[in-house]
Amino acid sequence: MELLTPGIGLIFWQILIFLTLFFVLKKFAWGGILKALSDRENEIDSALRMAEETRAEMAKLKSDNEKLLSEARLERDKIIKEAKESAVTLITSAQEKAVAEGNRIISDAREAIQNEKTAMVAMMKKDVATLSIEIAEKLLRKELLDKKAQQSLVSELISEAKLN
Amino acid sequence: MLKKLLFTFAFSFFVFVGLKAQEHTEAGHGEITPVHELEAEEHFDMGAMIMHHILDEHGWEFAHGVKLPLPIILYTSDRGLEMFSSSKLDYGNTYNGYQNHHEHIVRVNEAGVSDENVHPIDFSITKNVASLLISAILLILIFTAVNRGYKRNKGKAPKGLQSLLEPVITTIKDEVVKPNIGPKYEAYLPYMLTLFFFILVNNLMGLTPGAANLTGNIAVTLTLALFTFIIVHVKAKKAYWMHIVAPPGVPGWLKPLFWIIESIGVLMKPASLTIRLFANITGGHIIILSFIGIIFLFKSWGVGAGVWGIGAFMSLIEILVAFIQAYIFTLLSSMYIGTAIEEHHDHH
């Protein structure tokens, strides 16, 4: 029965020592330990959260970058295309202009040649007339050097002339 | 600083007591009667041996004949407080009118007959109280060291004692106290951690040969259960009291019956805490001591070897039990507090 009857003395010391132990440990051990533990927990939590946020940010940056890159690529394609187009139009217009200029020059040249020709022909006509008159004069002089020739001509001319 | 102070105190205390004791044993050496020891050799009383190991004693007998005397402190209404070394009452000696009758200090008159009119209240530093003090000092040394570890290794991985005990502390915190007490668990953590480590250290110390059986003493477990009981009823919220006074869904004429049942329930909780720890630890000790006793009873090599194996196995089981019982006591204390401080709930 002794086993089951609590002793007053031991209860007294148990209360005294346990309470002392509790307050000493609370002040000099648990406070610090529990604070350190919860601090570390918070630290780990915030570190994990930060890692998560950084990862999200990185992903966002990456997608932004890709977007920027694809935009740049589009822009580049557009610029190249425009450049090509303008080059083509430039070349075409230059060709057209060149052709037109060539045609103009040719037609001018033709006109000038025509004018020259006309002038030349006119001049030649005049020269030919003068020359033929001179030749005729010279011929006539030579032909009509004797009286007989003169008379035959006159008679020929008279016979030709029809008096109607 | 604190550690040194406590250590010096504890050390000087035991040295002082030890020196005093030596003086007296030397002085009273001539009076020793060898009858006691002769008897012990002649027949082996296993029950007495077991009870002797389980119960408290004045003075600390590490092995047969090696006994550290401890102070006896008595309070009597006629003489007030008295203090003297337990060695003065060894071997049935009478000192100052006191005798030690099977670890009960009684007043005797000149004729050597105990005086039934005087009831000395025994506040002695018994083996259990000494063990209690040692465990308290040990716990303070351990956990101030752990605390220093947290200061020193701030922002670094735990080291040494700190890393050994951190998983235990976090288990009690996160697996026992937090889920059972609820959101306000932090206020109860120091108590729960003290409770757990106090029981654990004393359970383990109790398994050490020659040590006291502190957590297998009903006075200790009763006191611990009362601490939880007091916390439960000081911190209890309205919902807890209403559950006892006016159980929901019970017709009026049945209420008196429920008051009785609920009151028994209220008292059963500390009672079960008290008895569970006490019975588990004492039971374990009795089993181990019984196996050891069998060796002395049979005095045979074969039996000795066989029983040694079983005894060693039981000791290992008891180490497990030391942890389990500390855990269960803390777990149930948390649950009792948790249900008491819970705000109104609707699941009835």
Q: pLDDT per residue over B220-257, tens digit each?
A: 999 999 999 999 999 988 888 888 888 778 788 888 88
Spatial contact of B220 and B214, defined as CB atoms under 8 Å apart: yes
> How far A31 CA lies from chain B's nearest CA (Å)?
8
Residue A74 vs residues A80, A87, B125, B243: alpha-carbon distances, Å = 10, 20, 92, 74
Taking the C-alpha atoms of residue B180 and residue B334, their distance in angstroms, rounded to an integer, is 6
Mean pLDDT, rounded, for A60-88: 94
- Quote the tokens at residue A11: 């209860």
Task: Please give the pLDDT value at position B4.
Answer: 55
Contact A3 B51 (CB under 8 A): yes
List, in order, residues 6 or more apart from B17 with CB less than 8 Å away. Answer: B68, B69, B70, B71, B85, B125
Q: What is the pLDDT of residue B344?
A: 65
Pairwise pLDDT comparison (B30 vs B50), residue with the higher score: B50
Q: Is the pLDDT of residue A85 over 90?
A: yes
Q: Pull the structure tokens for residue A24.
A: 């000493």
Q: Does A25 touch chain B (CB under 8 A)?
A: yes
* Over residues A102-123, mean pLDDT: 92
Q: Please name the residue of chain B whose CA is at the shortest distance from the CA of residue A6.
A: B219
CB B24 within 8 A of CB B85: yes
Residues linked to residue B76 through DSSP beta bridges, in sequence order: B80
Rounded CA-CA distance A85/A61 in Å is 35
**C-alpha span between A120 and A126 (Å, rounded):** 10
Q: Calculate mean pLDDT across residues B323-342.
A: 93
Q: What is the pLDDT of residue A2?
A: 74
Query: Minimal Cα distance from B75: which residue of A?
Result: A9
A18 to B194: CB separation less than 8 angstroms, yes or no: yes
User: How large is the average pLDDT for residues B343-347?
Assistant: 61
Contact A30 B189 (CB under 8 A): yes
How far is the alpha carbon of B124 from chain A, nearest alpha carbon, in Å? Answer: 7
* pLDDT at B13 > cutoff 80: no
Question: Which among B51, B124, B218 is the nearest to A4, CB-wise?
Answer: B218
- Residues near B189 by Cβ (< 8 Å), separated by ≥ 6? A30, A34, B173, B177
A6/B219 CB distance under 8 A: yes
Chain A residues within an 8 Å CB radius of B164: none
| Mean per-residue pLDDT over chain A, rounded | 90
Q: Which residues pair with B67 in a beta bridge?
A: B61
The sign one gets for the Cα dihedral A115, A121, A124, A126 is negative
Handedness of CA B259, B260, B261, B264 (dihedral sign): positive
Q: What are phi and psi of B105, to 5 degrees?
A: -85, 120
Return phi, psi of residue B95, to 5°: -135, 125
Does the pLDDT value for residue B17 go beyond 50?
A: no
B8-17, B57-66, B308-317, range with the lowest pLDDT = B8-17
Q: How far apart are the C-alpha atoms of B143 and B169, rounded to whole Å?
A: 11
* DSSP reduced 3-state for A161: coil
Q: Closest approach of chain A CAs to the CA of B272, in angstroms?
A: 14
Contact B192, B177 (CB under 8 A): yes
Q: What is the pLDDT of residue B234?
A: 93
Mean pLDDT (whole number) for B2-31: 45
Mean pLDDT of B317-331: 95
The answer to whether B82 and B73 are in contact (CB under 8 A) is yes
Of B124, B146, B222, the CB nearest to A9: B124
Q: What mean pLDDT do residues A137-153 have? A: 81
Give the ranges where B153-217 is alpha helix by DSSP (H).
160-171, 178-181, 189-207
Question: Do residue A10 and residue B54 have CB atoms under 8 angstroms apart?
Answer: no
Predicted local confidence at residue B347, as pLDDT: 52
Q: Identify the pLDDT of residue B25.
A: 40
* B160-175 residue pLDDT tens: 888 899 999 999 999 9
3 state SS of B251: coil
3-class DSSP assignment, residue A30: helix
With contacts defined as CB-CB under 8 Å, which chain A residues touch B122?
7-9
- CB neighbours of B178 closer than 8 A, spacing ≥ 6? B185
Touching check for A30 and chain B: CB below 8 Å? yes
Res. B206: pLDDT tops 70: yes
Phi/psi at B66 (nearest 5 deg)?
-100, 100
- Contact at CB, B193 and A30, closer than 8 angstroms: yes
* Domains of chain A, residue spans: 12-159
- The separation between the first and the last C-alpha atoms of chain B, rounded to the nearest angstrom, is 55
pLDDT band of A40, cuts 50, 70, 90: confident
Task: Give me the mean pLDDT over the B284-308 stretch.
Answer: 88
Least confident of A88-92, B24-28, B85-89, B93-97: B24-28
* CA nearest neighbour of B87 among B16, B18, B37: B18
Percent of chain A with pLDDT over 70: 98
**Mean pLDDT on A39-54:** 92
Chain B residues with beta carbon closer than 8 angstroms to that of A43: 155
The pLDDT of residue A20:
94
Cβ atoms within 10 Å, residue B224: 24
What tokens appear for B79 in the block?
């003489």
A114-128, B14-28, B106-120: least confident range: B14-28
What local confidence, expressed as pLDDT, does residue A108 receive?
Answer: 93
Mean pLDDT within A43-67? 94
Average pLDDT value for residue range B186-195:
93
Supply the pLDDT for residue B89: 85
Contact of A3 with chain B, judged by CB distance below 8 Å, is answered with yes
Per-residue pLDDT, averaged over B308-332, amounts to 93
Average pLDDT of the residues of chain B: 83
Q: Residue A153 has what pLDDT? A: 80
